[in-house]
A = this chain, B = another copy of it.
Amino acid sequence: MPGKVLVYSRFPKAMMVPIGERYDVLDSKGRPIAETFSPEQLSQVRVLISAGATLLPEQVMDLLPSLKAIICYGTGYDGVDLAAASARGIAVGHSPAANAAAVADLAVTLMLAVTRRLIPADAYVRSGDWAAAKPSPQMAPRPGNPGRRVGVYGMGAIGRKIAARAAAFETEVAYFSRTRHDVPYRYIDSLATLAEWSDVLIVAVRAGADTHHIINADILRRLGPDGTLVNISRGSAVDEAALVAALTDGTIAGAGLDVFETEPHSPDALTAFPNVVLTPHIGGHTADSHQAMQDCVLANLDAAFHGKPLPYPVTSDS
């Protein structure tokens, strides 16, 4: 097939193997493409594969005169300048909902792990402190799930699955999103009110300019000293400095975070807290979720190379 596939973000090697078997691949390994490939190589790029969060501005598109499609691996596409792509006739695709169950599972895992202090509990056993009957303030009993108010911010495919899972723990579930959905959960009409109401606030909103640092000091203050924040969306949705401050002074009780502002870095200050659980952006990282995402990527790639519409395009409500 004429034309090349440019791997634009840094991906684990194994994820790109099936693509390399079918197409001629230029793998940037996340390095700047202008410094990595010759203009001639770049002129042959027909399709680009990106992790959705990697910044992909118009200047990059202009280095790729034959580019027909940008295909995001995963559901997010927040790094892509959609208007610039549209103006250049470049289609943008992603893997909608392919990872929703896996991400929702991790969100609820983080909620449970933070509120039951699972990391300190495991350390308490492994260190021998339990056997030595050493007192541990981390092991004091805390409120359980029945009656707990779980607020879900964002009601897309992931938010819905989070809500269904959380409700099974005999919690009360409510949500806020830009629009009201036909779901069996209470709708609260602002993020600020949802934060006030919630014992656990789970961020499942699509990232973008309008949600940058939307979880700020004011929202955390509203969540309150018994409140827990969970973020499995994007690091950019949370003002990390405000979060560190809120954890330091007890403005909130704890946090579970799968995403960070500057991945793969998490602030040193965060790693010192016993009342947080930190995971390395593994929300969608299960074998079945990878398979489903890869199926979407390959179907999008195939369509792009045959000049057909993408089967999994980014749409205005996706």
Contacts and interface: CB of A to CB of B under 8 A. Distances in A.
A125 interface: yes
Given A109-B109, A290-B141, A126 B280 contact: no
A45 interface: no
A130 B288 contact: no
Contacts of A124: 280
A287 B143 contact: yes
A165 interface: yes
Given A118-B118, A126-B278, A286 B113 contact: no
A168 interface: yes
Number of copies: 2
A33 interface: no
B130 A280 contact: yes
B288 A146 contact: yes
Interface string A119-131: 1011011100011
Given A130-B280, A139-B282, A144-B287, A109 B118 contact: yes
A139 B126 CA distance: 21
A204 interface: no
A168 B125 CA distance: 29
Interface in A102-137: 102, 105-106, 108-109, 112-113, 116, 118-119, 121-122, 124-126, 130-131, 133
A126 B267 CA distance: 9
A116 B105 contact: yes
Contacts of A130: 264, 266, 280
Interface string A154-173: 00000000001101111000
26 contacts: A101-B144, A101-B169, A102-B145, A105-B112, A105-B144, A105-B145, A108-B112, A109-B109, A109-B116, A113-B113, A118-B279, A119-B119, A121-B282, A124-B280, A125-B278, A130-B266, A139-B280, A139-B282, A139-B285, A141-B285, A141-B286, A141-B290, A143-B286, A144-B286, A147-B288, A164-B168
A306 interface: no
Contacts of A169: 101, 105, 108, 165
Contacts of A139: 280, 282, 285
Nearest to A291: B141
A198 interface: no
Nearest to A161: B170
Nearest to A288: B144
A271 interface: yes
A220 to B, nearest CB: 21
A278 B164 CA distance: 27
Given A101-B146, A125-B271, A287-B142, A167 B170 contact: no
B280 A121 contact: yes
Given A101-B169, A141-B286, 12 more contacts: A101-B144, A101-B170, A105-B145, A105-B169, A121-B282, A122-B279, A125-B278, A126-B278, A130-B266, A131-B265, A131-B266, A142-B286
